[in-house]
Structure 1
Amino acid sequence: MRLYNTGFGLSSQSPAKRFHASSAVNFHQCLKAINNKTVDGKTDNHGNLLPPSISNATAVTYDLCVSECGATQEPFQWTVFSQQFASWLLPWLALVSQLPFGANDKLDNLESMLLTLGSPTLAAYSLSLTVLNGRWVAQLFWSYRYPNARNAARILSSLQQSPLRVDTDGALLASLIMLPQNDEWWAELVVWLEYTHTWSISAATSIAWVIIAYTFTIVDYFSQGFQNVLNANGQGVGSIGSLWFWLLPIIIGWLQLSPKCDSTRLYQAVDRANSIAYVATPTSQPIKAINVSQKRAISIKRAELDDARVDERSTPPVYNYARFLPWVQSVVVVSNTFGIISERDHHHDPVIPGTQWRDRNSPGHDPPMALQIENYTYPRSGSMYHAPRHKWGLDSSAFSRMFIASTLALLLQWGTTGAAIIIIWFTPTIGLGCRSASYIAYGLLSTLVWMMLLTSSILTYYSINSPTIRGRVIPPFPARVARWLSIFLRRLGKLIAVLNALLLIATGLLQFSSFYDRCYCNSSVMGLGKRAYDVIVLVPDDIGGMRAAWIGGFVLAAGAATIFAGFVTIFIDPPLPP
């Protein structure tokens, strides 16, 4: 922390001149020089003033620290910096490589990485939403007793990382569900989407590396004692490990979930499936959809011209926050169509009016026409599907899932960041200082980015689903304002996220380089103001409070990470429809 030996020797100069003449400060020797003279500003480790003649003071006021020791930092030592960086920060940076990316554009992948580092709240929110959506889809299709309902649930869940579009025009969706010729479409698409981004030796090694590094921090504390740990920048080590600890459950969660985010493979899988899709015709046998038009019942939007929707087409899973509402809307359309068809088939309503009901795979079955198939998607009298849907085309549980995901994301963010703040805050000098302020700023900016981008996604969805004025394409004024505001919030939020990611990395570098080891930062001037003082040597009374703060911080970080990882582990892989 502050006790590195810089080799200052005694001379005939005054202490102030002697220490100011150097470009760096040695607080241990400065305190020794102060104790050898009678001067006001000597204190105990609680900031209480001591007699000027006392020779065993362990702390000094901020004003005395600056006047006698100087305002500069302790000397930078490359051996200490390199050891700290390699042991405590580099493992976390290496673990970032295990995040799922998948975009064709390298800039999009870099942006997704910075967005994750700059807002763990957003990353945890997207992961929680993805897990909750997978379970919701499985439950939604569980009651449908119709061919391919199981495959539909798997496909829709796998396409959360893509700009999913559903088209019901021309009986496209009804044909995809009802025609037996399309059974191959459902089966093949499931197979083509069965690639994984999951555990590997490199991923397991990176995770083990950071766990061991974090464990060593705790072992060093109990084996060396506080003074020795502090001498090696231990407070920085312990807090930095807690500050980054959110990354561990995020990585483990995505590896367990194995998101389908490779944009090239996603497009190829859907295109290959759509090349064998059939559609009913007005007058003849069903034919392949590629011979009718470019429209498909289920597709991935390759290019989105609307600047408000650019994040929807970026396949890295951190952008699932932007796809959530449009994806839910598409799933609701497919689910309702499946539900109506399944219900009518269960009641043996014939597809062709005036004929006897027959199983869709019965031999000699006359193929239904497009209009007949489309009419079959209208609910029966008294059907549960007559119940009005949400005015935005969503289901009633969409916003409850957003709330649950938000709660889990904030728990992980402030459980880990709060742990780092506690460790630093209660390390003498107790109070708000440079280190704890940087941690608080990181947590607040991360939360702010999440709020801005979440709001942006809601405004975007509102702007594209608001009714037009008298049939005109131009949306009404509120929708145009919402669209403009969504773009502004998205761009500003990303800018703040990039700056916050740089702050996260810079915080560790500054701590390990002794940048914070100066009178201003060590005296907690931000919190104590005129009462600021600098604790240079610990006394036995300090140990109890520090021990409780360190243990509490470690438990808080590990507990928040465990709760989040446990949620992901329990809720993934829900039972699919039989």
Structure 2
Amino acid sequence: MLNVHRPLFRSLPLLLAFVAIYCCGSTFASSNFGQCLLDVQAGKFGPNAGVDNSGRPVPNANATAIPYEICVTACGGGPEPFSWSDFSNQFSAWLLPWLALLSQLPFGANDNLENLISVVLTIGSPVLAAYSAALTVLNGRWIARRFSGSTYPNTYYAQAPIILDKNRDALLASLIVLPENDEWWKELLDHLNYTYTWSISAATSIAWVLIAYVFTVIDSLFDVSSEIQVNGQGVGSAWLWLLPVVIAWLQISPKCDSIRTRDALRRANHIVYVATPEGLPKRAGLVSDHRAVFLNEAEDVLHNDQRCTSPIYNYARLFSWTAAVEEISDYFHEATRRSRLFQPVNSNTPWVSGDRNSPLKDENRVGTSSQVVEYCTSFFPRRSRWGSGIWGRIVIASILALILQWGTAGAAIFVTWETPTRGLGCRSGSYLLYAIVSTIVWVLLIFANILSHYSTFDCTSHDLEGKKKHYARVDLAGSLSIIIRRFAKILAAANAVWIFTTCMFQFTSFFNRCWCDSTVLGLGAAKAYNVVTLSNEEVDSTRAAWIGGAVLASGSAAIYVGFINVFIDPPFPFGPNRE
């Protein structure tokens, strides 16, 4: 694959600069909750200033927590001092492995900006990334079933799932029928038969991340009370979605390299033949510069995402890809039906019986351009504008993506929620917002894709005078699609920045302030309190919550990986070497 992850790591100096600036500013912070609790216990803020870890008033000497309003007075509104040792340990253990794993995602666009946008979309909307991967697997099974009834030559090669446009004249029918084009299918498959799959570096990266995650989780459970507020349990769970997504794409091995895809089509189209009115096939290059199969590279804002070869955009190609597959498969099925009835392409010639080594003789596959088109065209075409079985695949892929996103983010929310002071606070609220925005981005992009496909419908009618009337709602759908898609990408970029910022705030003690530690967001200022000292029972309950969060996140990731492994690589009805 192309070395496309460099733009991501060029932004790391900015991240380090942010940390350095924050460190310099927070070094002079004065908040010290341990000292504040001692002052409260000493009665410096009144005789009834202390509370227990449930927020109930207790004598100052027995206080283990500080009410929010007294916390601000006693400790100030700023964070606790920055600790480089805490930051470096937590950052390297909980976040750095995930940043390294991003480089294993497949991209493929011949543009660093497009690849960077793919990274941003993946981080900003894990739902979209998981949805596109699951949808790709489901599409693979659907295309195998779609071609299962066809035994016409080259059916096996036609099942390569490539996103293409097509011309509706004799070019496509010639590709399927003419024996001279058998080499075209083999040539295309040979040059597309490269893999972006398991390698030593990929396996090492995944093993490193997995082992680091397991070891870090186990290590954190042995000393819950130490560094409880800067602990990265929530960070590890929130990023765990990346591991199954990377594993899924490595198993799918998408053909996403734009340069290789374009080169494969160029090579194959150089040797393609087309039927002529006289019945003698000619090289297509001698007839015109049109080809039956080619990449859509026209400048069209509406279909920009469809043209980008990065796998995360597979969601945008669903409708157009399904329509192309149905058209080609219908041609193959009709040609298969006629050949089984011993009907040659040229109805004026007799059927030539084949043998075991060649059941369908080339003599039966020649004819004029009109005969070739008629041979592949069904008298009763059945084709939906949206595509067969498409909504079922969308629903299944959506459920899997939501399980992965909300299983991992839900674990992060649960872990931080159950860490004293319990409730909705800065940390749990940040993860909740991240998951919500991720889901909204996915919904917006799916809706934009539906509008984009609707805008391609031929919605014209004739008025009383016989003049064609075009419906404005079609143009409106296309314009709305562009606006919604751009807004969703901006939202995804903001969400990607948000999750990085949240992780930095977690590790740099930014959240270690009265407002965040007192869970004011969930309890309200009047009832909020900051737990400073944990009892043995609370340490045990917090440890149990952390274990539960790790199990929830790992379980949702395991469900997703299990689905991919069960549904991937569907058996084809026959191969090129099968009789």
TM over 0.5: yes
Q: Pick closer, same or farther for the CA change 1:127–1:366 going to 2, 3 Å.
A: closer
8 Å contact 1:445–1:497 — kept in the other structure? yes
The answer for the alignment partner of 2:438 in structure 1 is 446
8 Å contact 1:220–1:229 — kept in the other structure? no
- Alignment map for 1:249-398 (pairs within 5 Å): 249-301=244-296, 303-358=297-352, 362=361, 367-379=366-378, 386=380, 388-390=382-384, 392=385, 394-395=387-388, 397-398=389-390
8 Å contact 2:344–2:364 — kept in the other structure? no
**Deviation for aligned residue 1:393:** 5.3
Counterpart CA distance in 1 for 2:346 and 2:149 is 25
**Deviation for aligned residue 1:83:** 2.3
The answer for the alignment partner of 2:494 in structure 1 is 499
Amino acid at match of 2:167: D
Q: Pick closer, same or farther for the CA change 1:331–1:551 going to 2, 3 Å.
A: same
The answer for the alignment partner of 2:8 in structure 1 is none
The alignment status of 1:108 with 2:108, answered yes or no, reads: no
The answer for the alignment partner of 1:559 in structure 2 is 555
8 Å contact 1:304–1:310 — kept in the other structure? no
**Deviation for aligned residue 1:421:** 0.2
Amino acid at match of 1:518: R
Q: Pick closer, same or farther for the CA change 1:363–1:527 going to 2, 3 Å.
A: closer
- Alignment map for 1:95-134 (pairs within 5 Å): 95-134=101-140
Q: Pick closer, same or farther for the CA change 1:475–1:97 going to 2, 3 Å.
A: farther
The answer for the alignment partner of 1:483 in structure 2 is 478
Counterpart CA distance in 2 for 1:320 and 1:133 is 10
Amino acid at match of 1:344: R
Counterpart CA distance in 1 for 2:140 and 2:216 is 37
The answer for the alignment partner of 1:11 in structure 2 is none
Q: 1:412 is matched with which residue: 404, 410, 413?
A: 404
**Helix, strand or coil for the counterpart of 1:187?**
helix
8 Å contact 2:141–2:568 — kept in the other structure? yes
8 Å contact 1:221–1:229 — kept in the other structure? no
**Deviation for aligned residue 1:354:** 3.4
**Helix, strand or coil for the counterpart of 2:530?**
strand
Q: Pick closer, same or farther for the CA change 1:79–1:551 going to 2, 3 Å.
A: closer
The answer for the alignment partner of 1:547 in structure 2 is 543
Q: 1:26 is matched with which residue: 3, 21, 32?
A: 32
Counterpart CA distance in 2 for 1:61 and 1:415 is 33
Counterpart CA distance in 1 for 2:212 and 2:362 is 66
The alignment status of 1:39 with 2:47, answered yes or no, reads: yes
**Deviation for aligned residue 1:209:** 1.9
**Helix, strand or coil for the counterpart of 1:60?**
strand
The alignment status of 1:508 with 2:514, answered yes or no, reads: no
8 Å contact 2:177–2:365 — kept in the other structure? no
Amino acid at match of 1:510: F
Counterpart CA distance in 1 for 2:80 and 2:340 is 79
| 1:177-205 CA-partner distances (Å, limit 9, x unpaired) | 01111111111111110111112222122
Q: Pick closer, same or farther for the CA change 1:372–1:493 going to 2, 3 Å.
A: same
Q: 1:399 is matched with which residue: 388, 391, 394?
A: 391
**Deviation for aligned residue 1:77:** 1.7
**Helix, strand or coil for the counterpart of 1:228?**
coil
TM-score w.r.t. structure 1 length?
0.90
Counterpart CA distance in 1 for 2:201 and 2:541 is 39
| 1:86-135 CA-partner distances (Å, limit 9, x unpaired) | 22211110100111011011100000000000000000110011000011
The answer for the alignment partner of 2:207 in structure 1 is 208
Counterpart CA distance in 1 for 2:467 and 2:491 is 37
The alignment status of 1:575 with 2:575, answered yes or no, reads: no
The answer for the alignment partner of 2:174 in structure 1 is 175
Counterpart CA distance in 2 for 1:366 and 1:214 is 59
**Helix, strand or coil for the counterpart of 1:103?**
coil
Counterpart CA distance in 1 for 2:490 and 2:386 is 32
The alignment status of 1:197 with 2:196, answered yes or no, reads: yes
Counterpart CA distance in 1 for 2:33 and 2:374 is 84
Amino acid at match of 2:435: G
**Deviation for aligned residue 1:61:** 0.6
**Helix, strand or coil for the counterpart of 1:534?**
strand
Q: Pick closer, same or farther for the CA change 1:58–1:393 going to 2, 3 Å.
A: closer
**Helix, strand or coil for the counterpart of 1:355?**
coil
The answer for the alignment partner of 2:216 in structure 1 is 217
The answer for the alignment partner of 1:10 in structure 2 is none
Counterpart CA distance in 1 for 2:484 and 2:445 is 6
The alignment status of 1:136 with 2:142, answered yes or no, reads: yes
Counterpart CA distance in 2 for 1:328 and 1:87 is 43
**Deviation for aligned residue 1:549:** 1.7
Counterpart CA distance in 1 for 2:487 and 2:63 is 49
Counterpart CA distance in 2 for 1:70 and 1:422 is 28
8 Å contact 2:178–2:365 — kept in the other structure? no
8 Å contact 2:132–2:312 — kept in the other structure? yes
Counterpart CA distance in 2 for 1:26 and 1:194 is 61
Counterpart CA distance in 1 for 2:400 and 2:433 is 20
| 1:203-229 CA-partner distances (Å, limit 9, x unpaired) | 1222122212211232123322x2125
**Deviation for aligned residue 1:472:** 8.9
Counterpart CA distance in 1 for 2:273 and 2:386 is 27
8 Å contact 2:221–2:543 — kept in the other structure? no
**Deviation for aligned residue 1:359:** 5.5
**Helix, strand or coil for the counterpart of 2:114?**
helix
Counterpart CA distance in 1 for 2:117 and 2:135 is 20
**Deviation for aligned residue 1:429:** 0.3
Counterpart CA distance in 2 for 1:200 and 1:172 is 40
Q: 2:531 is matched with which residue: 535, 549, 554?
A: 535
Q: Pick closer, same or farther for the CA change 1:95–1:376 going to 2, 3 Å.
A: same
8 Å contact 2:97–2:208 — kept in the other structure? yes
Counterpart CA distance in 1 for 2:397 and 2:99 is 26
| 1:456-505 CA-partner distances (Å, limit 9, x unpaired) | 00100000124235599995211111011100110000000001011111
Counterpart CA distance in 2 for 1:474 and 1:87 is 63
The answer for the alignment partner of 1:13 in structure 2 is none
Counterpart CA distance in 1 for 2:364 and 2:94 is 69
**Helix, strand or coil for the counterpart of 1:45?**
coil
The alignment status of 1:145 with 2:158, answered yes or no, reads: no
Q: Pick closer, same or farther for the CA change 1:430–1:474 going to 2, 3 Å.
A: farther
Q: Pick which of 553-562 and 371-380 moved more.
A: 371-380
**Helix, strand or coil for the counterpart of 1:217?**
helix
Amino acid at match of 2:369: A
The answer for the alignment partner of 1:186 in structure 2 is 185
Q: Pick which of 102-111 and 281-290 moved more.
A: 281-290
The alignment status of 1:430 with 2:428, answered yes or no, reads: no
| 1:257-312 CA-partner distances (Å, limit 9, x unpaired) | 110000000000011111111110001410111111122112111x2332111111
8 Å contact 2:179–2:362 — kept in the other structure? no
8 Å contact 2:120–2:493 — kept in the other structure? yes
The answer for the alignment partner of 1:82 in structure 2 is 88
Counterpart CA distance in 2 for 1:449 and 1:515 is 27
- Alignment map for 1:146-161 (pairs within 5 Å): 146-153=152-159, 155=160, 157=161, 159=162
**Helix, strand or coil for the counterpart of 2:77?**
coil
**Deviation for aligned residue 1:168:** 2.2
Q: Pick closer, same or farther for the CA change 1:229–1:510 going to 2, 3 Å.
A: closer
| 1:405-450 CA-partner distances (Å, limit 9, x unpaired) | 1111101000000000000001000001001111000000000000
Amino acid at match of 1:314: C
